[in-house]
Every structure is written in C-alpha cells, then in structure tokens.
Amino acid sequence: MADAFQRASGIRVRFALGASGMLSRQVENGAPYDVFLSANEKFVKALAGSGRLASDSVILYAFGRLGLWSKTGWIKSLADLRDPRVRHIALANPVHAPYGAAAKQALEKEGIWGALQPRIVYGENVRQALQYAESGNAEAVITAWSLLCGRGGTLLPDSLHAPIRQAGGVVAASAHPRQARQFLAFLTGPHGRKILEANGLFPPPQ
C-alpha cells in the first residue's frame, strides 16, 4: 500500500504498527501521527468524538477476518484445537486487540473457550501472536487472515464473531492533513481496494 501510494502521489508513508488500543492511546496522548487506522471502528469513533481525529475524514476501509494457522499444518479447524497435542494456542490480547477479542468470541461460540482457556497465550498484537506459532512456542494461532492468506491457513467463518470493522481517519493535529486525506482517498479507491483484497482484507461494498 505504501509503495503503491508513493508511486501514485510521490508521498512517502511510514507505518507504526501495534494493537489498536495501544495506538489509540498514543493518539490521545499527542503522538505525531497523520493517519490512524484501526482494526476496531470503536477506537476511531471515540477519537473522532473527542476531537483527536477530524470527524469529516473518518472512513470504513475494510472488514477483517480471522484465520487459524499452525506451523505443522495439521490443525485445520477450531475443533482440532481440543487435541491434547495442542498445548499452547496464541491469540492477540483481547483487551487491546480487536482480532484477539474476535478470536475469543469465536471460541466461545464454538463452546470450547472454557476448555481451551488454560492453553491460551497472548501476544500484544496480531503479529506477535503469529510469531509465537512461527517459533514453535504455540502449536496454533488464531489471528488476522491478512497475516495468513497464502500460507496454508484456514479462513474462519465470519459468523463466529462480531464484524471486524476496520476504520480510519486523519489525526486532527496532523502536520500534513492534505497528504493524510490523499492517503485515505487512495486506500478506499480502486487501487487501494485491489491491494486490500489481494492481502486478505475485505473492502466494504461500494
């Protein structure tokens, strides 16, 4: 996305990655960001309501989905997680990370959260959760499909959790508001939508 936007506009983009709740607090505390993108729309709405984001810039840019992945490849379904060979299951922390909250909802809806909870290990964000599984410190991970597509994971049904509405907006104190709005327009335009779709996110209907 950054490379495509730079080619189209000549504007360079740098990303700071982290759990939505953590980044939201940074924006509240005056971090010098230009755009805030969140995997949970509620953080964007809260910041817009407090004046930290320009309310007229707020957009819904994608719906996220959950995926299940294991390094060995034999874990294909949530039911497989009950196997005693699965000693650790990685999730992003549901307190801070929307994908972690959605993963917990999915396990609850399947009726296996109580049985699996002692085996859950938490990453601070979706990437750290995936790293636990990649390193072998967890036998499986439930994380953002955008990190798993193309790697042989399982896309989980979106009926298992509340919609993961990914939204964003321009930080009101941005030093580059015009460029920030250009980026959001690119993100939701045809080129941006194509990039999102190719990388495991689902743009909202136009």
User: What secondary structure letter does DSSP report for 151?
Assistant: T
Task: Give the CATH class of 2-64+163-198.
Answer: alpha beta
Each residue of 80-132: pLDDT tens digit? 999 999 999 999 999 888 899 999 999 999 999 999 999 999 999 899 999 99
Dump pLDDT digits (tens) for 102-115.
Answer: 999 999 999 999 99
Q: Is the pLDDT of residue 10 over 90?
A: yes
Cα–Cα distance measured from residue 44 to residue 46, given in angstroms and rounded to the nearest whole number: 5
Locate all alpha helices (DSSP H) within 1-40, ordered by sequence: 2-9, 20-28
Domain boundaries, the chain: 2-64+163-198, 66-155
In the block, residue with structure tokens 């499909």:
145
The pLDDT of 20-38, averaged and rounded, is: 95
CB atoms within 10 A of CB 172: 16
Domain 66-155 sits in CATH 3.40.50.720: no
Residue 201's pLDDT is 96
Closest alpha carbon to 170 in 64, 33, 62: 33
Is 66-155 in the same CATH topology as 2-64+163-198?
yes
